[in-house]
Amino acid sequence: MHRRKISLCLNSPPKQYVYNSLIIREDKHEQILAYALYKVYKNKVIKQARHELWSGPQLALQLKNLHDSVIQQEGMRQHFYQQAREMSEKFINETKERIKRDAVSEYQEKVAQYRRIITPPWVKFVKWLGVGLSGLIASVVVIVMLTGFSALFLGKEGRTQIAVAAGKTIFKILNSDIPVADHLSVD
């Protein structure tokens, strides 16, 4: 029978992990996010080391110092927790704003659809009639203005002729045929 030899070194402390220092409860999103931010920071240190051509031992020492400072210093852990809280709040606020914008936009679209569906036919007719009537009024106003402007440069006889012509034109506009109504015969 073989016996395994187990050697325990009682003098060295057990290895500590940043994960266990930052994540005390796995159901706390802030702690998990703090650990992720630590990993992002650690990755930045590695990228900086590659960019600045650090030696292997120099990088290892920098990473060990970062590791130990997070484990040993409450301030470092609080720094990552604070970053996590700020990131969470920013995400929540941005999400709330996006939801509000989407809800308002959707509400406005529903109201517009409702208005299109619910608008009574007589309201649509009155709007249509109003557009036509405004064109008629605009024509009369233009005729009156042109007649008045022309009258400034003509003598008394010319003004009389223009006034009579303008009156006839306005009368023709107001007395013109209504396409369907004027051609129906009532027996």
> For the segment 80-132, what is each residue's pLDDT rounded down to a tens digit?
999 999 999 999 999 999 999 999 999 999 988 888 788 788 887 888 877 87
| Whether the model pTM is above 0.75 | no
Domain check: are 24 and 105 in the same one? Answer: yes
On whether the CB atoms of residues 117 and 66 are closer than 8 A, the answer is no
- Report in angstroms the alpha-carbon separations of 87 from 49, 81, 93, 134, 176: 26, 10, 10, 58, 73
Query: Which pLDDT value is given to residue 47?
Result: 93
- Domain housing 94: 18-116
Domain check: are 72 and 51 in the same one? Answer: yes
**Domain presence at residue 75:** yes
Query: Which pLDDT value is given to residue 35?
Result: 92
**Domain presence at residue 72:** yes
Query: Which pLDDT value is given to residue 146?
Result: 80
Tell me the residue type at 4: R
Domain check: are 112 and 125 in the same one? Answer: no
**Domain presence at residue 38:** yes
Domain count, the chain: 2
Largest CA distance in the chain: 140
Domain check: are 73 and 139 in the same one? Answer: no
On whether the CB atoms of residues 20 and 75 are closer than 8 A, the answer is no
13-62 residue pLDDT tens: 567 788 888 888 999 999 999 999 999 999 999 999 888 988 889 989 89
**Domain presence at residue 6:** no
Cβ neighbours for 66, distance < 8 A, ≥ 6 positions apart: 41, 42, 45
Tokens matching residue 158: 């010319």
Query: Which pLDDT value is given to residue 22?
Result: 87
Domain check: are 91 and 32 in the same one? Answer: yes
Domain check: are 29 and 91 in the same one? Answer: yes
Domain check: are 108 and 72 in the same one? Answer: yes
Per-position b or e across 59-78, b if 16+ CB within 10 A of its CB: beebeeebbeebeeeeebbe
**Domain presence at residue 9:** no
CA geometry: angle 87, 43, 73, nearest 5 deg: 70
164-186 residue pLDDT tens: 887 888 788 777 776 666 666 65
